Amino acid sequence: MMIRIDDKKSPERVLVMPDKFKGTLTSGQAARAIVRGLARAWPRAQFTQQTLADGGEGFALALSDAVGGKRRHCVSVDAAGRRCRAAWVLLGGGRTALFDFAAAGGLAQLPPSLRDPATTSTFGSGLMLRKAIEAGARKILIGLGGSATNDGGIGIAAALGWQFLDRRGDEIPANGAGLLRLSRIVAPKPRARVRIVAACDVDNPLYGRNGAAYRFAAQKGADADSVRELDRGLRRLARVVENDLGKDFAHAPGAGAAGGCGYGLTVFFDAKLESGFDILRREAGLDALVRAHDLVVTGEGAFDLTSLAGKAPYRLARLAHKLRVPAWGIFGRIDVPASRLPFERAAALVEQGGFVSATVSRAEHAHRLERAAFALASAKSDG
């Protein structure tokens, strides 16, 4: 499907900045495929490839791709407690650290048999946070997305010295099931002041029908009974935090991100939750990057009503228009009327309401995206 809203002359400088096509292509793979297609139509154009993310999986990669930095690795544990090697990035002369929550707490790292948000923990992400602090970082940017957990962030806090105790004074397991036994929280001795900013792409509260457990735990391996228990645990966490720490953040937008880590990072570390796109725009100087080009091309797996609520490709298109730069979009599918698209031109790999088959290889997905980009660039004006 192709939608042509307006026509522009062949551009000289093109910024290609797609988000990932979930389950098929990473942001970088999608960008390369789009550039190949556009370059066939515009062989003299200059292309800038940039990854895009709004706080979900891939945020750290997108930001480090934009601003550079030294990539490092540390030994941590995954959400099931298995030893793993996780990547993170140092920026700004070592004063700023950047990592994705999913680097140690990601669902994609676990086989189906280990996917259980009652037993998985964010402890490994806490080890990464501790490593960044020990390396001297005083500002830490964390991308919240792709989590396998539902522990409200107590695993992260436990890795940095917080104690979560039951009625007998014994430490509870730092996981979703352990929250049901939580009775008291003991803060560690004060550490060096660190500013934490968490990139968040959802606005769910901590608990309730729209909270972390009910909205996301099933896709992490929880059955209906487990979802109810996980929600009870998050409610208990909120009560104990309010009693012991005097903080009430459970209903704030984003508290339910990454199994409640939006909440945990805020109440235990005074973190600020922010749209990943806003962080990317500020830290990467996105306004100047867009102004330096004649056309912006973005995309992702699907453009639907959730996209209009502020997902990264939509936000990028609106920014481009504000700066008087045309924006095009290429998507796996488009599920909104053409009148609501913020693009001069847009294309979808499948018809509205259809889906991209999971049986198609990654190479074939890339080839289809390349063909769509070529067709979009080659299309003649409607008028």
Domains of the chain are 2-51+285-378 (3.40.50.10350), 69-277 (3.90.1510.10)
Write out pLDDT tens, residues 242-266.
999 999 999 999 999 999 999 999 9
pLDDT of residue 63: 86
Write out pLDDT tens, residues 277-295.
999 999 889 999 999 999 9
Average pLDDT for 8-37: 90
Residue holding tokens 């570390």?
Answer: 269
What DSSP string runs through 239-255?
HHHHHHH----TTSTTT
Task: Give percent above pLDDT 90 in the chain.
Answer: 77
Would you say residue 60 has pLDDT above 90? no
Give the model's confidence band at 1: pLDDT under 50 very low, under 70 low, under 90 confident, else very high.
Answer: low
Residue 104 near residue 127 (C-beta atoms within 8 A): yes
pLDDT of residue 5: 42
Give me 137's structure tokens: 């970082």
DSSP state of 328: E
| Distance of alpha carbon 343 from alpha carbon 297, whole angstroms | 9
pLDDT of residue 94: 85
Would you say residue 56 has pLDDT above 90? no
| Distance of alpha carbon 347 from alpha carbon 41, whole angstroms | 16
Task: Report CA torsion sign: 254, 100, 373, 294.
Answer: positive
Give me 117's structure tokens: 């948000």
Q: Tell me the pTM.
A: 0.85
Task: Report CA torsion sign: 228, 230, 236, 237.
Answer: negative
Within 8 A by CB and 6+ apart from 144, the residues are 55, 56, 101, 198, 199, 200, 201, 257, 258, 261, 262
Other Cβ atoms within 10 Å of 338 Cβ, number: 13
pLDDT of residue 202: 86
Give the model's confidence band at 355: pLDDT under 50 very low, under 70 low, under 90 confident, else very high.
Answer: low
Give me 381's structure tokens: 């004006």
| Distance of alpha carbon 116 from alpha carbon 126, whole angstroms | 19
pLDDT of residue 3: 46
Q: What is the mean pLDDT of the chain?
A: 92
Would you say residue 359 has pLDDT above 70? no
| Distance of alpha carbon 188 from alpha carbon 135, whole angstroms | 20
pLDDT of residue 6: 45
Would you say residue 134 has pLDDT above 80? yes
pLDDT of residue 61: 77
| Distance of alpha carbon 332 from alpha carbon 355, whole angstroms | 8
Cα angle, residue 144 at apex, residues 166 and 140 outer, rounded to 5°: 90
pLDDT of residue 9: 66
Average pLDDT for 108-120: 96
